[in-house]
A and B are shown apart, each in its own frame.
Chain A
Amino acid sequence: MKKRFRLSEFLAEKLITATAFMSFTFIVLIFIFVFRETLPIFSAPDEIAATEELGEQETYGNIVLTDAERAVEEKQNKSIAAEEGVTAKNLAGDRWQPISGKPKYGLLPLIIGSLKVSLIAVLLAAPIGILAALFTAAFAPKWAKEALKPMIEILAGFPSVVIGFFALVVLATFIQDFFGLEYRLNAFVGGVALSLAVIPIIFTISEDAISAVPKSLTEASLALGATKWQTALKVVLPAATPGIFASVILGVGRAFGETMIVLMATGNAALTSADPFEPVRTMSATIGAEMAEVVFGETHYNVLFLIGSILFLFTFTLNAIAEIFVRQRLMKKFSGN
């Protein structure tokens, strides 16, 4: 039969092609934008604009000040004279004090903070997510499977600000009382809250990977006399390893990039200690808290974009690794070649 040209189909096809490439373009543009805003840090420092004589600022409202009030005003004015505008030579330092007479942009505590919270979150979420996935895919009766999977996936769409608020108000008190902690808000509270956001990701992808293990493998194992448990642990789980690994990697990426939960639950103190029960300040929370305040084009602004670039590269690498594992290893394994 001869194909007929249909205008609507032609247009629809072009439209979806365009949309597909649009998201691609957006990502590239965002990439360029983030890196471009980072660059000024690495170029030669601008001559700090000569402190030109500004003269008196106008005031409005006729208030005659008393002496005590004039002292208050003078103190408030004097204090503000401390100048900012220093180059970012100290990126490797261990102090994050961007608002200061001598700003310190040490990224070390922020990187440690992000790693610490992500690690705690994934250590908690991975076992739970994977075991839940194993149950759902290999053991659960059909009705349980049909109920569990969508429910846990809904958890993924839970607004992170709600999880963060819950952690700030309820979880933090509970954990402090339970462990008798000195700091109410700390990396551990943040990690526990974050794991709620990570579990669904690990669960969903692991579940897909386990379900994708060919029936023939399971049946062969059972036919040889292995029990259901032996089959699940020794046959199904190893076969699904690449997919599970990928899910964990994506979970780390999610934990690393999450902002609202850690901003609310971790105390945001830029410390470098390894103690999981001390407050931390993560890279994402730093951007979230400070981006709204900086003056565009300042060193502080550029440093925040540098942090953004680091986060971007990190999650990008993790996503790429996960993709390679799922696509290449897993597919090769089951395609029979």
Chain B
Amino acid sequence: MYSGLSLRLVLLTYPKGEIKVKKIVATVLLFTFSSSMFAADVITVKGSDTMVILAQRWAEMYMKMNPNVTIQVTGGGSGTGISALINGTTDICNASRPMKPTEKQKLKHRFSSLGVEIKTAKDGIAIYVNEKNPLKELTVQQIKDIYTGKITNWKEVGGIDSRIILYSRENNSGTYVYFKENVLDDEDYSPSCQNMPGTAALVNAISKDPNGVGYGGAAYAKGIREVAIKADANSPALLPIAENVKSGQYPITRFLFMYVKSKPSGAMKEYIDWILSEEGQNIVTKVGYFPLR
């Protein structure tokens, strides 16, 4: 009766939902083209949850200045965005990681183009602990040992004597992949990692868990504390603040990307140029990430 229903819905809605959105966008496009001479441009943006707030701010500001352009922003994770780009359901894909070779290959099969990469901003991945945790700094190696399950007590890294509770993102997150491959050197996360659906949920969990540790974009770090990171035992401990991230000194720094199918033109080119302009980059700072320059 009720039992199978939720499952069926999950299985059904994904592909169908995509088609529907496409149809709606198409209808909107048709409608606007036929009904007015001043055709409105619709740009769909999808991908990284880390970038979703940033992308929304960009879109809001840009639409305010260019009322004839409509920009629709959705999140879902970098993997989701790249899949959408490959499946042709989004114009621009936000990603907090580079495209994988397999993904480029798929894009080439579909559109005979490898896609175009646009660096839009920089981000330092912060390591969060609860406010009450006295821990000040960690080395990258220690973070790796904590997340692969070799270190299980805060005592071992100079903290209080209690178990470390690991929080991670779900595996559709670009941050999950980036962290795994850059910090964990592609080793698997400890199975006791709790996977949270979204950075907001993760931050919420750590703010309520005195023994918790988590990672995520520096922009989200409100209400909890960031730990200073050392590249190795002898290097200085750095916080993910503007000068450290912008210079690339902070050990867990990454680029935030946009991907499009082919060299941008028309309304999309104008939009991307605006993002890379000073005005667009100012918004990056306001949201809490770091501009390219």
CA distance A69 to B194 in the complex (A): 32
Given contacts A259-B6, A292-B77, contact A279 B192 (CB under 8 A): yes
What separation, in Å, do the CA atoms of A295 and B109 have in the docked complex? 14
With CB as the reference atom, state the residue of chain B lying closest to A51: B101
CB of A45 within 8 Å of the partner chain: no
Q: How far is the CA of A318 from the CA of B86 in the complex (A)?
A: 39
A residues in contact with B114, CB < 8 Å: 54-58
Let me know if A84 and B292 touch, CB within 8 A: no
Contact (A269, B192) CB under 8 Å given A59-B117, A60-B117, A294-B83: yes
State whether the Cβ of A83 lies closer than 8 Å to any Cβ in chain B. yes
| Cβ-defined partner of A259 (8 Å) among B10, B108, B119, B177 | B10
A82 touches B248 (CB 8 A): no
Contacts known (A99-B171, A101-B186, A254-B2); A268 close to B196, Cβ less than 8 A? yes
Asked whether, in the complex, the Cβ of B194 is within 8 Å of the Cβ of A61, the reply is no
Complex Cα–Cα for A49 and B106 (A) = 11
CA distance A314 to B115 in the complex (A): 43
A146 within 8 A of B: no
Which of B99, B105, B170 makes the CB contact (< 8 A) with A268? B170
A160-B171 Cα distance, complex, nearest whole Å:
23
A312 to B188, CA, bound (A): 30
Q: Which of B241-259 contact A (CB under 8 A)?
A: 247-249, 253-255
Q: Is A201 an interface residue (CB 8 A)?
A: yes
- Distance between Cα atoms of A278 and B3 in the complex (Å): 25
B77→A81 contact, CB < 8 A: no
Contacting residue for B10 out of A100, A101, A291, CB 8 A: A291
CA distance A8 to B153 in the complex (A): 75
Cβ < 8 Å to A, chain B residues 77-92: 77, 79-80, 83, 86-87
Q: Does A287 contact B (CB under 8 A)?
A: yes
The residues of A that contact B80 with a CB separation of less than 8 Å are 292-293
Residue of B nearest to A256 (CB): B3
Contacts of A228-278 to chain B: CB distance below 8 A? 250, 253-254, 256-260, 263-264, 267-271, 278
Would you list which residues of chain A between 27 and 56 have a CB under 8 Å from chain B?
Answer: 30, 33-34, 49, 51-52, 54-56
Q: Quick one: which of A143-177 are within 8 Å of B by CB?
A: 156, 160, 168-169, 172-173
Docked CA distance A67–B223 (Å): 34
In whole angstroms, what is the CA distance A23 to B272 when docked? 47
Q: Is the CB of A284 closer than 8 A to any CB of chain B? A: yes
Interface 9-residue window, one of B21-29, B52-60, B201-209: B201-209
- What distance in Å separates the Cβ of A236 from its nearest Cβ neighbour in chain B? 24
- The answer, yes or no, to whether B42 is at the interface (CB within 8 Å) is no
- The one of A253, A269, A278 that contacts B193, using a Cβ cutoff of 8 Å: A269
B193–A292 CB distance below 8 A: no
Contact B248 A71 (CB under 8 A): yes
Closest chain A residue to B248 by CB distance? A68
22 A-B pairs, CB-CB below 8 angstroms? A54-B104, A54-B105, A59-B117, A60-B263, A68-B248, A76-B98, A83-B101, A95-B188, A183-B165, A184-B205, A184-B212, A201-B1, A250-B1, A250-B2, A256-B3, A267-B194, A271-B192, A289-B195, A290-B170, A291-B10, A292-B76, A295-B106
Q: Other CB < 8 Å A-B pairs besides A52-B105, A72-B248, 4 of them?
A: A63-B119, A77-B98, A254-B2, A293-B80
